[in-house]
A and B are shown apart, each in its own frame.
Chain A
Amino acid sequence: MDFFNSMNVSASALSAERTRMNLISSNLANANTTRTPEGGPYKRKDAVFAATPVRNSFDRVLNNAANRDVRQVEVMQIVEDQRPPQLHFDPSHPDANAQGFVAMPNVNVVEEMADMITTTRSYEANVTAIQAAKSMAMKALEISSK
């Protein structure tokens, strides 16, 4: 059924946005982390989204002309931000270098907050899309009810 296609697409977006939200939480939580298993300060992480064709068991759906252009979204990659760490002067810090500077994560809290709002709004938009598809499907069931 066509509506499940629409819901699957929106669901893929919900999961992608959720992944991004997890990364933002991780970035915020580690905004002051100077030690990581890989060594050095924490590096900001970001998700790379890509539009992919809808994959489901009904391959014939893909052959349908109008559905060929429907794309779901997937997190293709999680990349580390390559911006240099911020250097803070704090000679008393155990991770300070010889000059007394501590390499702090390249996380900008304000930037993360802005990203978090965009992510929330995108998530909500997709929830609305699912609700719309659901209400349309339910409405179709009313055709012969009265």
Chain B
Amino acid sequence: MPIDGIFNTTVELLGKSIDLRTKNQNLISSNIANAETPNYVSKSLAFEDELQGALKGAQKGAPAVTDPRHIPLKGSKERLQSVAGRVVETPAKTPGKDGNAVELENEMTKMTENQIMYNASVQILSKKFAGIRSAITGTGGN
């Protein structure tokens, strides 16, 4: 198995996911910090569909290496790497008198969800590495 096959898109995808969730955490912190600022509208990072699209493209469009002399095209990785997400405004349905459109409960929920998804990505990535390590050492990875 080539070394590229060991790490494949899983590591790439999880790394990107962790990166984007970090950026989302920044935006959510900003929303919570400005929960009382007049005319502030809450924002969040939408990237799930873009990431999924890149992943689908990566699976379908990856050029196969059928001969040792082929130069592997890394289209898939680059496509995953280029996912940046987009910042969308998520105003509360009932903005306050001062024009502030942040719902604190909503933001706390979003933050918890983001944190759990982040932890999940980290955990899967850890397991992935532990699996590879176990294959290398053959002793269960200690």
Which residues A8-32 have CB closer than 8 A to chain B? 9-10, 12-13, 16-17
Whether A73 and B29, one on each chain, are in contact in the complex, defined by CB atoms closer than 8 angstroms, is no
- Say which residue of A9, A139, A143 sits within 8 Å of B33 (CB atoms): A9
Whether B115 and A71, one on each chain, are in contact in the complex, defined by CB atoms closer than 8 angstroms, is no
Bound-state Cα–Cα, A111 to B102, Å: 22
Stretch at the interface among A36-44, A79-87, A95-103, A122-130: A122-130
Whether A71 and B26, one on each chain, are in contact in the complex, defined by CB atoms closer than 8 angstroms, is no
Whether B26 and A49, one on each chain, are in contact in the complex, defined by CB atoms closer than 8 angstroms, is no
Query: Is residue A66 within 8 Å, beta carbon to beta carbon, of the partner chain?
Result: yes
Whether A118 and B115, one on each chain, are in contact in the complex, defined by CB atoms closer than 8 angstroms, is no
Whether A13 and B32, one on each chain, are in contact in the complex, defined by CB atoms closer than 8 angstroms, is yes
Q: State how many angstroms separate the Cβ of A63 from the closest Cβ of chain B.
A: 13
Whether A140 and B126, one on each chain, are in contact in the complex, defined by CB atoms closer than 8 angstroms, is no
Known: A128-B108, A142-B126. A10 touches B33 (CB 8 A): yes
Give every chain B residue within 8 A of A139 (Cβ-Cβ): 118-119, 122
Q: State how many angstroms separate the Cβ of A49 from the closest Cβ of chain B.
A: 4
Whether B28 and A51, one on each chain, are in contact in the complex, defined by CB atoms closer than 8 angstroms, is no
Binary A-proximity of B101-142 (CB < 8 A = 1, otherwise 0):
000100110011001001100100110011000000000010
Whether A66 and B87, one on each chain, are in contact in the complex, defined by CB atoms closer than 8 angstroms, is yes
Closest B residue to A125 using CB positions = B32
Binary B-proximity of A34-71 (CB < 8 A = 1, otherwise 0):
00000000000000111100000000000001111111
Known: A129-B111, A135-B115, A142-B126. A70 touches B30 (CB 8 A): yes
Give every chain A residue within 8 A of B40 (Cβ-Cβ): 51, 71
Of the listed residues A9, A65, A128, the one surrounded by the most CB atoms of chain B closer than 10 A to its CB is A9
Whether A66 and B28, one on each chain, are in contact in the complex, defined by CB atoms closer than 8 angstroms, is no
- Say which residue of B25, B27, B37, B118 sits within 8 Å of A50 (CB atoms): B37
Query: Is residue B16 within 8 Å, beta carbon to beta carbon, of the partner chain?
Result: no
Give every chain B residue within 8 A of A16 (Cβ-Cβ): 33
Query: Is residue B35 within 8 Å, beta carbon to beta carbon, of the partner chain?
Result: yes
Query: Is residue B51 within 8 Å, beta carbon to beta carbon, of the partner chain?
Result: no
Whether B29 and A49, one on each chain, are in contact in the complex, defined by CB atoms closer than 8 angstroms, is no
- Some 10 contacts from A to B, beta carbons below 8 A apart, are A2-B23, A48-B38, A66-B26, A66-B87, A71-B33, A128-B108, A129-B28, A136-B118, A140-B122, A144-B129
- A17-B36, A66-B20, A144-B126 known; 13 other A-B pairs, CB under 8 Å? A7-B29, A49-B34, A49-B36, A67-B23, A69-B43, A70-B29, A73-B33, A121-B104, A125-B107, A129-B111, A132-B25, A135-B115, A136-B21
**Partner-B contacts on A (CB < 8 A):** 2-3, 5-7, 9-10, 12-13, 16-17, 48-51, 65-73, 118, 121-122, 125-126, 128-129, 132-133, 135-136, 139-140, 142-146
